[in-house]
């Protein structure tokens, strides 16, 4: 399976600096693609703030990279259109050049009170629009300390996945809330155990044991090789370290060759 290295820019990226940094990433990707066969590279995805999708799409087209770098949204509304001030439909993300969309990120759950039912509706909306949802799940520190991490995460997975979710059209990102933006990461053993628990839950829920499961939370160039080599880890969802092309590419280079 080809690893997926996804960057979540969150609410970062002002023009013109964002454009410059993205162009740097495209140059790195272009150089690597010229050397390697496509299948030997990880899939690279950048999820910038929605207003940057169209300019980034145009930059990809100008770089003529043939799909080495793809784009995703960070959130979508469940409806296709309507009176939802400030929201963005999955179809609109697609129009702007996205192929993926993150749903259920812990920052959306915390800042916007998103519950599992809302996340499930957003995931279905992504499929309706032909986008691949990246479903984020993860336990809080108190859930981990209480020994409830596997059950808390299984509940989030079961609540969001539904009929029609396959390994080809859906990705899961395991992001322990306490590891996001903190510089702390679980041990490789803990990551392996959580990914296995999630994979079993996915298999029971929708029969798709080969669904990609990414790890997210303080992934940096210096810990990426260790985290990405963990059994059952199929890539990374990177926050802070995705903002600089040099760091993000360092992480992409650390991903194991596709097996």
Interactions with ligand 13P, residue window 24-63 (CB under 6 A): none
Considering only CA atoms, which of 190, 179, 245, 177 is closest in space to residue 7? 245
Residue 104 tokens, joined:
């259920």
CB of 131 to ligand 13P, least distance (A): 17
Q: How many residues bind ligand 13P (CB under 6 A)?
A: 14
Tell me if 239 contacts ligand 13P by CB under 6 A.
yes
If binding is defined by CB under 6 A, does position 198 make contact with ligand 13P?
no
Q: Binding ligand 13P by CB under 6 A: which of 4, 121, 233, 237?
A: 237
Residue of 43, 114, 175, 195 marked catalytic: 175
Question: Exactly one of 43, 77, 100, 105 is catalytic; which is it?
Answer: 105
Cα–Cα distance between 241 and 183 in angstroms, integer? 11
CB 4 within 8 A of CB 213: no
Task: Write the burial class of residue 27 (CB in 10 Å: 0-12 exposed, 13-18 middle, 19+ buried).
Answer: middle
Counting every residue written for the chain, the total comes to: 259
x/- binding map, residues 86-105, to ligand 13P, per CB under 6 A? Answer: -------------------x
Binding of residue 138 to ligand 13P (CB under 6 A): no
- Strand locations in 53-203, DSSP E? 69-73, 100-103, 132-137, 171-174
CB of 237 to ligand 13P, least distance (A): 5
Tell which phi-psi region holds residue 164, choosing left (phi > 0), alpha (psi between -120 and 50) or beta. Answer: left
Of 127, 120, 203, the residue nearest 169 (C-alpha)? 127
Q: How far apart are CA 3 and CA 80, in angstroms?
A: 31
Q: Which stretch binds ligand 13P (CB under 6 A): 35-43, 53-61, 117-125, 239-247?
A: 239-247
Tracing tokens 């390994």 back to the chain, one arrives at 167
Residue 84 catalytic?
Answer: no
Q: Is residue 156 a contact residue for ligand 13P (CB under 6 A)?
A: no
DSSP assignment letter at 131:
-
Instruction: Find the shortest distance in angstroms from Cβ 198 to ligand 13P.
Output: 16
Q: Is 240 in the site for ligand 13P (CB under 6 A)?
A: yes
Least distance between ligand 13P and beta carbon 231 (Å): 21
Task: Output the smallest distance, CB 66 to ligand 13P, in A.
Answer: 27
Point out the residue whose Cβ comes nearest to ligand 13P. 239
Residue 214 CA to residue 166 CA, distance in Å, equals 15
Query: Which are the catalytic amino acids?
Result: 105, 175
Residues contributing to the site for ligand 13P (CB under 6 A):
8, 105, 175, 180-181, 216-219, 237-241
């Amino acid at each position: 399976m080809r690893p997926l290295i996804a960057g979540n820019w969150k609410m970062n990226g002002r023009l013109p600096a964002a454009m410059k940094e993205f162009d740097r990433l495209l140059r790195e990707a272009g150089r690597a693609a010229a050397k390697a066969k496509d299948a030997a590279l990880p899939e690279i995805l950048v999820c910038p703030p929605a207003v940057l999708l169209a300019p980034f799409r145009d930059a990809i087209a100008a770089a003529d990279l043939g799909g080495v770098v793809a784009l995703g949204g960070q959130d979508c509304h469940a409806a296709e259109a309507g009176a939802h001030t400030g929201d963005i439909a999955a179809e609109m993300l697609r129009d702007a050049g996205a192929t993926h969309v993150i749903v259920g990120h812990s920052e959306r759950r915390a800042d916007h009170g998103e519950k599992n039912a809302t996340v499930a509706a957003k995931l279905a909306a992504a499929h309706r629009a032909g986008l691949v949802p990246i479903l984020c799940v993860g336990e809080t520190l108190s859930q981990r300390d209480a020994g409830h991490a596997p059950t808390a995460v299984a509940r989030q997975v079961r609540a969001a996945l539904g009929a029609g979710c396959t390994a080809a059209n859906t990705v899961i990102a395991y992001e322990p809330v306490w590891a996001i933006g903190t510089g702390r990461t679980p041990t490789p053993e803990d990551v392996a155990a959580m990914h296995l628990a999630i994979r079993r839950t996915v298999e029971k829920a929708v029969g798709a044991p080969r669904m990609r499961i990414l790890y997210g939370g303080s992934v940096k160039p210096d810990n990426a090789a260790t985290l990405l080599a963990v059994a059952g880890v199929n890539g990374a969802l990177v926050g802070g370290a995705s903002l600089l092309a040099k760091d993000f590419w360092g992480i992409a280079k650390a991903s194991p060759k596709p097996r």
